[in-house]
Amino acid sequence: MDPVVRFRAAVCLLGRFPALAGVDLDVNAGEIVLLQGPNGAGKTTLLRACAGLVKVAQGEASVLGVNLVDDPKAVRPLVGLLGHATGLYDDLSVSENIRFWTRAGGASLTDADNAMARLGLDGRLASVPVARLSAGQRRRSALAVLLARRPRLWLLDEPHAALDQAGRDLVDSLMVDAVNAGATVLFASHELDRAQEVADRSVHVVGGTTQPSGNVGHTSEAVEVD
């Protein structure tokens, strides 16, 4: 079976700067892969390239069978990206935001409602404008959008950031559940202890290139959530 993510000597330029300078990466279906590395190493650019948001200027790159060099836009409906920003409208409520982005992705409102319930956003928070949320609540809302859209590849950039203990446990369980449902997860994190618990393996990103780090502790079937 072809890997879900396959990069060979992939180069991505931000202006003239090679943010990725020859990345080799394979991620197989059903894997949870951790990208680790120092700030500015290229983790975010790699995730954005996988989402078809950054052009691959040289080398080979495919995600879910889509050639990113030829047609990066074709992969976008198939993946879900949670970056540093949440992509939510401040003046809309949590429910309105999640429903808008869910419908935009072609999923049903039932998916949106289920995702809100899973993230604990179906109570009084549902009608609160996003502008009034804490950073952690915004993060939960963005995760609900991702969950509702049910992407085949989850791309998460620091998914534990701004979340409390329960929220971090929930993120871990969402990743495991996504994989159990047939998706694949590629995520970047600086919280190595926690991230290595949930990841099947990790890949070091240093200076725009990748170095495999081998297997790490894996949590297979389930992560307990309070």
Partner 1 sequence: MTNTTLRSVISDARLVAGKDLRLEWRSRVTLNQLLPFALLVLVLFAFALDPDRSVLKDATPGLFWLAVLFSTLLAIQRAFAVETVDGIIDALRISGLDPAGIFLGKAAGIALHLLVVEAALLVGVTVMYGASPSGLLLVVATSIAATAGLAAAGAVYGVLAAGLRVRDTLLPILWLPVVAPLLIGATQAFGSAYEKSSGAGWRWCGLLGAFAVLYTAIGFVAFEPLLEES
- Residues found near partner 1 in the complex (CB under 8 A): 48, 51-53, 73, 76-77, 79-81, 83-92, 96, 100-101, 103-106, 129
- By C-beta, is 44 or 209 nearer to partner 1? 44
- By C-beta, is 8 or 73 nearer to partner 1? 73
Return the H-helix or E-strand segment holding 20. Answer: strand 17-27
| Spatial contact of 56 and 72, defined as CB atoms under 8 Å apart | yes
Instruction: Give the dihedral of Cα atoms 173, 38, 82, 30; nearest 10 deg.
Output: -50
The bridge status of strand 153-157 relative to strand 79-82 is parallel
- By C-beta, is 8 or 55 nearer to partner 1? 55
Token couple for 25: 């990466």
- CB 193 to partner 1: min, Å: 27
Q: Which residues lie closer than 8 Å to 20 by C-beta, 6 or more apart? A: 10, 11, 12, 42, 45, 46, 49, 56, 208, 209
- By C-beta, is 54 or 216 nearer to partner 1? 54
- By C-beta, is 148 or 223 nearer to partner 1? 148
- CB 140 to partner 1: min, Å: 15
Q: How many residues does the chain have?
A: 226
- CB 68 to partner 1: min, Å: 14
- By C-beta, is 42 or 105 nearer to partner 1? 105
Q: Which residues lie closer than 8 Å to 116 by C-beta, 6 or more apart? A: 94, 95, 98, 122, 126, 144, 148
- CB 84 to partner 1: min, Å: 7
- By C-beta, is 57 or 206 nearer to partner 1? 57
- CB 3 to partner 1: min, Å: 21
- CB 82 to partner 1: min, Å: 9
Residue 61's alpha-carbon distances to 19, 73, 112, in angstroms, are 15, 13, 32
Token couple for 150: 């049910």
- CB 50 to partner 1: min, Å: 11
What's the angle, vertex CA 208, arms to CA 202 and CA 212, rounded to 5? 25
